[in-house]
Amino acid sequence: MASLVLSPAEQDFIIRGIEKGFRGDGRGNLDRREVTLRTGMISQASGSARCRIGNLGVGTDVLVGVKAEVNAWTPGEPEALGSVVCNVECSPSAAQEFEGRGAEEINVELTQLLDRVIGGGSQGAGGLDLSALCIIPKQAYWVLHVDALVLDVRGSIADALVMAARAALMDTRLPRVVVETITDDSGAAQAEFDVVDDAEDLVALKGVSGLPVAVTFNQVGKRYVVDASEQEEAVTQAKLTVAVSPALEICAIQKGGIFRGFQPSLMSEILQTAQRIAKEELTRFVALYEEAAKHKEQQSDGPSTGSTFLVAF
């Protein structure tokens, strides 16, 4: 991060090591850190997840909550699509530069990335199938509010954010909706719906398995790395986040903040590498989510506190 100041000797050590294929924590240039994933972290939300990349206290930690509500259709809106509203906030305690209004730019950058990754389905570029969120065309639809809080930053915010959002949406359950067609006295048919008020009668979101994962590349010296640490980001010269779907399609590409872009000659190699790494990350995500689901089931057997930070993580 920008707040981390390294001496010239430390910068030279990191750059020379990466150029020779060695990183300060022992990883190779394309190796990723350990990931911890938990779901059901917020009892009041329709779905939630928390993702940590790295070890406790020295890793990037992101919490995502999803809240669903029914919205009435108004003229000018898509006739048969639902909506997703994303918002990302970096906690002032996550990094020194986030204090005051220091996090405004990165909040906007991460919100735009998350919106493109999740809401890209309406353009056929991965993301949620927004048509599945429509209840009755030109009448009512579901709105998903996806709110993320960055609790700690030790590199690779975008990767942790997208993974936490993906898990939160897979954890999301909506009330069942009953749609009926009613004929009035004039013989005209009109559709009406009723949201079932039963905490046990819930349905999962459709299409969440098609959500992408993110792979962020940082250029350090003449080489690039993935899942950069805090120290490596302090000497980063170029930064690029690539979102890849389970079908290994490139869904979104976003340059990071104030960093310059990669050389055009490297783009083809980077995109191919992103697809290969994404395939591995999707396989790892399946195992992490299954473990998180089992952990959530075990936690549900105990007393409920309704508090995010009293859930074991």
User: CB-based burial of residue 143 (10 Å sphere; 0-12 exposed, 13-18 middle, 19+ buried)?
Assistant: middle
- Please give the pLDDT value at position 121: 47
pLDDT at 123 over 80: no
pLDDT, tens digit (0-9, with 9 covering 90-100), for 52-109: 998 877 789 999 999 999 999 899 888 889 999 999 999 888 777 777 777 888 899 9
Contact 86, 192 (CB under 8 A): no
Strand partners, 179: 193
Checking if the pLDDT of 313 tops 60, the result is no
Alpha carbon distance, N-terminus to C-terminus of the chain: 25
C-alpha dihedral sign at 155, 277, 244, 38: negative
Query: Which pLDDT does position 162 carry in this prediction?
Result: 96
pLDDT score at 302: 57
pLDDT at residue 27 is higher than 70? yes
Q: What six digits make up the tokens of 279? A: 């395939």
Residue range 258-276: mean pLDDT, rounded: 86
Query: Residues 114, 119, 120, 123: is their CA dihedral positive or negative?
Result: negative
Where are the extended beta strands (E) located within 59-106? Answer: 60-72, 83-90
Question: % helix / strand / coil in the chain, to the nearest 5?
Answer: 35, 30, 35
Ramachandran angles phi, psi of 287, nearest 5°: -65, -40
Q: Which two tokens stand for residue 255?
A: 């340059």
Residues contacting residue 242 through CB under 8 Å, at least 6 positions apart: 214, 215, 216, 217, 250, 252, 253, 270, 271, 274, 278
Plot region of 121 (φ>0 → left; ψ -120 to 50 → alpha; else → beta): alpha
- Is there a contact between 133 and 69 (Cβ–Cβ < 8 Å)? no
DSSP label at residue 148: E
Residue 265 neighbours by CB distance under 10 Å: 7
pLDDT, one tens digit per residue, over 158-193 is 999 999 999 999 999 999 888 888 777 776 777 787
- The pLDDT mean for the chain works out to 86
pLDDT at 124 over 80: no
> What is the model's pLDDT at position 263?
81
Helix (H, G, I), strand (E, B) or coil at 239: strand
**The pLDDT of residue 122:** 44
Tens of pLDDT, residue by residue over 276-291, are 999 999 999 999 999 9
Q: How many CA atoms lie within 13 A of 87 on its CB side?
A: 9
Q: What's the pTM?
A: 0.89
H or E segment to which residue 178 belongs:
strand 177-183
CB-side neighbour CA atoms (13 Å) of 83: 15
What sign for the dihedral angle of Cα 148, 152, 157, 162? negative
Secondary structure class of 250 (helix, strand, coil): strand
Give residue 58's pLDDT: 78
**β-bridge mates for residue 63, sequence order:** 50, 149
Mean pLDDT value across residues 133-138: 89
In whole angstroms, what is the distance from residue 249 CA to residue 126 CA?
8
Check residue 303 and give its pLDDT. Answer: 52
